[in-house]
A and B are shown apart, each in its own frame.
Chain A
Amino acid sequence: MTTDQKALQPVEHNPLASMPHDTHGGTSNPVLGMILFITSEIMFFGGLFAAYFNLRANAPQWPPEEFAHTLKILPFVGPATILLITSSFTCQWAVWAIRRDDRTVFIRGMAITVILGIVFLLMQITDYAFLGSEGLTLASGQYGTTYYTLTGFHGAHVFGGVVMLSVILYRGMAGQFSGRHYDAVEGASLYWHFVDVVWILLFSLLYLLPGKG
């Protein structure tokens, strides 16, 4: 082979070659990774929702007679919904702050978001306790199984989001984010918005959609 004559130009002679790999512009690697991860999460909840609709369609009556009014007693589900939606806004407030390099507002917004997330979880636990005392459990037929599976996995995702945002808050207080470096904040906030949207769907499905039969 006579490849020796075709030795390459050193990197510095080639303006393209000196370009770092991740500066093509557009979405950064961590944010793109998070968007793809959220895609997989949508498919996961898609599976659970599909099961819910299937079982609901097969049932002669939904909710079943003995649980016809069970979900209406919950005191906290309304306030919890409002808090979670509010937390999406406070989270985005924090993201906008860090984009313009305002760390004080960023930390403030993030702290409020984390607190709202924790309060949501406490409210959900309280609601679960009420439902348990009314006799609705995972084992009470398809209605209980789907209710607890859907809300339980959503709650687990809220918990995951709270952990994620707490790490962001901790790192923010340690001064690790600035107007030039906030990919992790963007990623975590996208995840939080996703968790919020899932709850809006769940809330409409479980509490607003009229029953049948």
Chain B
Amino acid sequence: MATTTLAPTAPTYRTGLYSWLTTTDHKRIGILYVVNSFIFFFIGGTLALGVRSELAAPGLQLLTDATYNEFFTMHATFMIFLFVIPMLAGFANYVVPLQIGAPDMAFPRINALSFWMLPLGGILLLLGFVTGGTAAAGWTSYAPLSEDRPLAATGYGQDLWIMALVLIGTSSILGSINFLVTIFKMRAPGMTLFRMPILVWTVLVTSVLVLMATPVFTSVLIMLFIDRNYGGSFFQPPGGDPILYQNVFWFYSHPAVYVMILPAMGFVSEILPVFSRKPLFGYKAFVFATAAIGALGFSVWAHHMFTTGSVYLPFFSIMTFLIAVPTGVKMFNWVFTMWRGQLMLKTPLLFALGFLTMFLIGGINGAFSASVPVDFALHDTYWVVAHLHYVLFGGSVFGVMAAVYYWFPKMSGRMMNETLGKAQFVVMFVGFNMTFFPMHELGLLGMPRRIADYASSTGWQDLNIIATIGGFTIAASMLLFLWNVFLSLRSGAPAGDDPWEANTLEWATTSPPPAYNFDRLPEIRSERPLFDLRHGRTASH
């Protein structure tokens, strides 16, 4: 174990429930984010198992049509707004101030406020289940479907959904302001912009996307709320415009896709160099590619609306293809980082490799739908479900798992169990591909998304059964994960300050770090200050 002499000597934490509830420490808030996100991951996952079980056979066995609509709507809502986005923000909360050598975030109390809005939003969403039905118009809640009370929801579910999402959106906006000010104003001396770890760059671009896109989502949610409750007619004919809803909704929700993947790219870009024993290949190219994805992300929203006939197809198609270019640059960065490196095949690297391969598939099957004629055939089929899960599960979730295995030693002071970790990776990888690969075929066969039932004569059942078995395999892998966390917290090997011999500043302090993070910092002369410290490199980068 490498230890640095930078380790602070002061006692670490006060303990107890009260100190967790009132904390403004970015590390504790980060852990709260992560735990809260995993709770909603399990709720959302259970709903997904309900959906998969219903689809295993033709006919309605388990759920009614209405419950099925609620299940897939709430599955997506929990996974997007209460799992992926806050999970990535949680790791960023923990890691970013450490990586830039700051004592905390710029606004610690606003940071706590951002977190506590999330469980509140989650409770509002869950309340739908006991007040006569949750939102059921899909996570996109297209108007006028979501405004039609008998169809959309019988109770207050849709309104609770709107309120919850406004709350969660506000949490994201405040969080992004906090990240931006922290990154711009709180960097340690010597930490120039181009010496920032890649994760910090991805969080910076993500925060800009959140800051610019989320308020637009808030505005469309409020218009929907006015239409539903105060007799407004933004989206209601006559005169109201359903396409307006889609335009404003996707103006947020497409950049949100990058909000859900860029920090995960950051995790992988931290992990690959450490476990390849090489610096990241093409640091600056990676930074510019990240910025390009962020900028292009605002000009592709209408590729979700090709079949509406109301958008200018050539523009949005070309912009969508263009976005593959910076993404491809990143693929080269990652592959050439590993090229001729001394790969240490530990669990974080395995999950990072899972990210690379699965995200690649998700990128390629996405490029198919960017082509307008192909999209006309694939729109709203299971192909789209396959694509988005290869990106969001194969990409973001594998990235999150890699981050958990990578930073768990820093957060807890204990190593996670390698054998269980590798077993979890294998089960999850197999389960993931069993679930979502057949969906490509189902989409090509014409199976639409968001249906509870299909005729046995369609021939879709075999592939659906494989997908359902895959879904339960993923669930099993998550049980392995929970067992691993429990075991490692109780009796994991002590981690030491820097178990991976990593490059960035979070490994320069104790595990877990004290409330004030650092007693002293190494001189920062490159984006790998700890590597320089270990190997005595002093040349300026």
Contacts and interface: CB of A to CB of B under 8 A. Distances in A.
A21 B251 CA distance: 36
Interface in B411-443: none
Interface residue tally of chain A, by bracket?
Answer: 35 or more
A153 B234 CA distance: 15
A55 B241 contact: yes
Contact of B5 (A8, A14, A54): A8
Contacts of A46: 215-216, 219
Interface in A2-58: 3-4, 6-8, 10-11, 14, 16-17, 19, 21-22, 24, 26-27, 29, 32-33, 36-37, 39-41, 43-48, 50-51, 54-55, 58
A149 B520 contact: no
B230 A138 contact: yes
A204 interface: no
B212 to A, nearest CB: 5
Given A11-B520, A40-B177, A40-B214, A33 B6 contact: no
Interface stretch (A66-74, A90-98, A139-147, A175-183): A139-147
B231 A36 contact: no
Interface string B165-188: 000000001001110110011111
Interface in B170-228: 173, 176-178, 180-181, 184-190, 211-220, 222-223, 226-227
A58 B212 CA distance: 26
A10 B6 CA distance: 10
A14 B521 CA distance: 10
B5 A29 contact: no
Contacts of B226: 138, 145, 149
A167 interface: no
Given A29-B181, A44-B219, A55 B211 contact: no
Interface in B318-347: none
Interface stretch (B102-110, B361-369, B461-469): B102-110
B26 to A, nearest CB: 14
B239 interface: yes
A27 B181 CA distance: 10
Nearest to B179: A36
B6 A8 contact: yes
A142 B237 CA distance: 10
Contact of B215 (A3, A19, A33, A43): A43
Contacts of A138: 226, 230-232
Contacts of B251: 47
B186 A142 contact: no
Interface residues of B, number: 56
A47 B245 CA distance: 10
A29 B107 contact: yes
A208 interface: no
A48 to B, nearest CB: 5
Given A55-B244, A145-B232, A149-B223, A8 B522 contact: yes
B239 A55 contact: yes
Contact of A51 (B102, B103, B189, B234): B234
Nearest to A43: B215
B520 A39 contact: no
24 contacts: A3-B2, A3-B534, A8-B523, A10-B520, A11-B520, A16-B189, A17-B520, A21-B103, A32-B180, A36-B176, A36-B177, A40-B173, A40-B177, A41-B215, A43-B212, A44-B216, A47-B248, A54-B241, A55-B240, A55-B241, A138-B226, A139-B231, A142-B234, A145-B226
Closest 6 A/B residue pairs (Cβ): A47-B219, A139-B231, A44-B215, A16-B189, A43-B215, A145-B232
